[in-house]
Structure 1
Amino acid sequence: MPLYEHVMIARQDLSNAQAEGLIEHFSTVISDNGGTIVGTEYWGVKTMAYKINKNRKGHYMYLRTDAPSPAIMEMERLARLHDDAMRVLSIKVDAHEDGPTVQMQKRDERSERGDRGDRGDRGDRGDRGDRGDRPRR
């Protein structure tokens, strides 16, 4: 059977349990139509680049499936009809990668370091020598 990867965005006002319940709901839809779920991940609430249905944030979910095309079409149809699901992206892939996705790896690295991870060492704030000579204002 073909291999697929799906990313879903659910409304921001759902609880984490409700968002993970959506993963279970769509997993059963695929299983009932002859497919299998290889893996699922809940990525959490993330800010989107633009508003979708008046929402600035959304719950992101990721599924890896091994399912026939009719099962995927049925899952996407039900996702379009579901009030809580805002977007679904399904991509056919040649092979699933082993291990967690990049999103989950970033989360693990941040929790291990204990910082935001995107800032780096700021050092002494008083030293501004890298800016060159600036005229006084």
Structure 2
Amino acid sequence: MHQYELMVILDPGIDERTVAPSLDKFLSVIRQDGGTVDRVDIWGRRRLAYEINKKSDGIYAIVDFTATPATTKELSRQLNLSETVMRTKVLRAEEAIAQLAAHTKEREERAARKAAARSASDRVNAVSAAAEKTAAAEKTATVATPVEPAEAAITPADPLDSDA
């Protein structure tokens, strides 16, 4: 027997009070074949990402259960035959955990690459900013320092001056 997770989207036209009994009818297949229903979590009415059967809302439910692969196949078949069930997805819990771990690892690697690229661009920006600052300082230093002319060059020499 394996651990499974079932997600069901039910037609919003049914009364929310009848969701649990409707699911129980399908989950009896698991119990009859010796499996166990570990958890039933009814999320209630939610907006769909896209329309299904011209409906924009659905009643979501998640079921964790333990069963054989044959039982899971029969459960999936019965759910697909029901008119009140809009969509179903059955995953082995181990696969779901592995998918989540792979997705998390991929997200962390992407974040690390972005951080490395950001720090590299920050270093390049810091170096170029320092170079610009140095060039600007040199330019202002050359322009800002006036050269004082020597007094001897400005004062004309007196030809009658005998001291010289």
Gaps of 5+ in 1: 98-137
Quick one: structure 1 residues 60 and 2, their matched pair in 2 at CA, closer, same or farther if it must change by over 3 Å? same
Q: Which consecutive segments of 4 or more residues in structure 1 shift more than 3 A? A: none
Indicate the structure with greater strand content: 1
Residue of structure 2 in register with 1:2 after alignment:
2
Does 2:24 match 1:24?
yes
Quick one: structure 1 residues 95 and 51, their matched pair in 2 at CA, closer, same or farther if it must change by over 3 Å? closer
Displacement of 1:96 in angstroms is: 9.7
Residue of structure 2 in register with 1:56 after alignment:
56
Q: Distance in 1 between matches of 2:9 and 2:95?
A: 23
Residue of structure 1 in register with 2:162 after alignment:
none
Residue of structure 1 in register with 2:39 after alignment:
39
Displacement of 1:95 in angstroms is: 9.3
- Structure 1 length-normalised TM: 0.66
- Structure 2 length-normalised TM: 0.56
Q: Distance in 2 between matches of 1:44 and 1:23?
A: 13
Indicate the structure with greater helix content: 2
Residue of structure 1 in register with 2:65 after alignment:
65
Report percent identity of matched pairs.
26
Indicate the RMSD between aligned Cα atoms, in angstroms.
1.8
Quick one: structure 1 residues 90 and 56, their matched pair in 2 at CA, closer, same or farther if it must change by over 3 Å? same
